[in-house]
Amino acid sequence: MVGSVATPEALRTLNREAVAAACDLVEIRLDGLATGGEIPQPEAWAHLRGLPLLFTARRGDEGGSGAWSAAQREAMLRAALADAALLDVEVASIGEMPTLLRDLAARGLPWVASFHDFSGPSDAATLGAARDRAAAAGAAVFKAAVTPGGVADLCDLVAFQGAPSPLPVAVMGMGPLGPVSRLLGAQFGSPLHYGFLGPAPTAPGQWSAALLREAIRHLAPLRHG
């Protein structure tokens, strides 16, 4: 269970004990913390140090806050390396951050390769190409967040998750069908489930982390096929 936080205000008010009860991994959205052009510094999350932390510096065209360049986003991620259990690097950023990815491999620090489509569900060929590029680049997990328009899209998304893959695949929907998609993905074995910490979602269709964790607890696992 991943709890995501994306603003300085929300991060400051997080209670360590409540966070630990709500999620297993804390995603800190560095792009949302980088106000005034300043690269976020470790003091901002010092009160959460010791918990497993996932750091993300999201591209603007994949839901990030601000129009940060690849170099700026890489600098944000590098500033967080000492505290990171995981990083998130978009598939679209793989070609922009080759040195960072080599450094992560040298450190043995795993990373999530993410893909976002806010306009639609994305077809299996598109998702498969992104997943395979992530695997070739050395990602530990491929995460696909898309926007399903109906039940058929949800079925296709879960089918993609269950298809043969060179690395673990996490899927989730955004928008009106986002909440139910996250439960369905969890039932079919998605390895990552994202909810928000603080007062507001970090993506459309998110549950709060605590509520999503409780809902998933009541689900019976299902098998593909």
- SS3 of 112, please? strand
Look at the block and give the residue holding tokens 């999350």.
45
CA 64 – CA 56 distance, rounded (Å): 9
**Count of CA atoms in the C-beta half-sphere (13 A) of 68:** 31
Point out the catalytic residue in the list 116, 193, 218, 224. 116
Residue 176 amino acid letter:
P
- 116 catalytic per annotation: yes
Contact residues for 176 (Cβ-Cβ < 8 A; gap 6+): 205
**Count of CA atoms in the C-beta half-sphere (13 A) of 46:** 4
- 143 catalytic per annotation: yes
CA 145 – CA 123 distance, rounded (Å): 12
**Residues taking part in catalysis:** 116, 143
